[in-house]
Amino acid sequence: MKKEKIVLGMSGGVDSSVAALLLQRDGYDVEGVFMKNWDDKHAICSAEDDYADALSVSKKLNIPLHKIDYTKSYKNKVFKQFLDDHLEGFTPNPDVLCNKEIKFEVFQKYAKKLNAKKIATGHYAKKTIINSINYLEKATDQSKDQSYFLYQLGQKELKHAIFPLGEIQKKEVRKIAKKNGLINHNKKDSTGICFIGERKYNDFVGQYINAKKGKIISIDGDELGTHNGHIYFTIGQRKGLGIGARLSAADKPWYVVKKDIKKNIVFVAQGGNHPALFSKKIIVNNVNWISQKPTHFPKQLYAKVRYRDNDKACSVFCLNQNSYLVKFKLKQKAITPGQSIVFYDKNNICVGGGIISKRDIPFLNKTLDE
């Protein structure tokens, strides 16, 4: 009996490598796709080294490996947006956009080219099908769950997708890799933004954006110093402000609480628990509902406002076709415009998410209309 063909994204890391092994064990005819998305010797994702690891694993498992250069598409669809968001005063998350615009699109194109109906990745996530509707679910190993980065997928992408690592603990993945002699069994997980690598974030962004100096002002109206560009600062940031000790100030660190992009001003406040850092309501745009848009609002859900955050109870109100008001049960610290908020139900199903565009700051009388 002929095996069913599946196309797997292989990055050279241990996760996608073990995913290939598990798919083979499940009886699939696996073909790998390695995507080169960035060409820079300083990047974490060194294409040459990662490709060598992916090739080693594919040879050991006797899997064909297709190499595609997608650097041009990545720069046009992901990196350009990354820079544009900075200019707008946002703090972007390029990994989310990459999954939708680059990875899954490429996998599905290759699947069609190779006469395969299914695609797979090494993400830690699960898919559940109920009444022909595809649901994205948190991975069993919730410390490694990556559903946060997949919330922009829809039925089209999920329909034929498989996540082989959804039920497995990360430590078990490494054990499987070592037991089967995979060269990358002990390879370090990539962290941070791949294309920045070991360079300082500000140095990298500064190569592409002509930032202008501006004022750093306390929420009380005192001018405290000068910044080199609002693009280098994010809400809740503590380090790199360059504000020296002041005789009239309390002995507490300064935090970024607000940015005025038009006036090029960065506002700061003292103390990690300053009320200006906290918000209870936010506006969210570009919301994607993975399975189906809720029929009734407000919708009671749980949300992450950053990847490593815990789920927080919230109510979601529909303002219009593209904009939603989210009210949290408790105030949340340092919610950052430009980052993603991802929604879950009580059963750990990822129902969707969107981009945070505004937050209320009651302390500064910057509240959102209800």
Half-sphere exposure of 14 (CA within 13 A, CB side): 22
3-state helix, strand, coil in the chain (%, to 5): 25, 30, 45
Distance (Å, whole) CA 306 – CA 240: 21
* Torsional sign, CA 202, 206, 209, 214: positive
Task: Choose among 34, 1, 3, 8: nearest CA to 118.
Answer: 8
Distance (Å, whole) CA 309 – CA 319: 26
Catalytic site residue from 194, 314, 318, 350: 194
The Cβ of residue 200 has, within 10 Å, a number of other Cβ atoms equal to: 10
Tokens 């002509």 locate to 210
Catalytic site residue from 98, 314, 318, 350: 98
Catalytic site residue 98? yes
The gap from C-alpha 341 to its chain's centroid, in whole angstroms, comes to: 10
- In 40-199, which residue ranges form alpha helices assigned H by DSSP? 47-61, 71-74, 80-87, 94-98, 104-113, 155-158, 170-179
Tokens 């060269």 locate to 183
Q: Where in the sequence numbering do the catalytic residues fall?
A: 98, 194
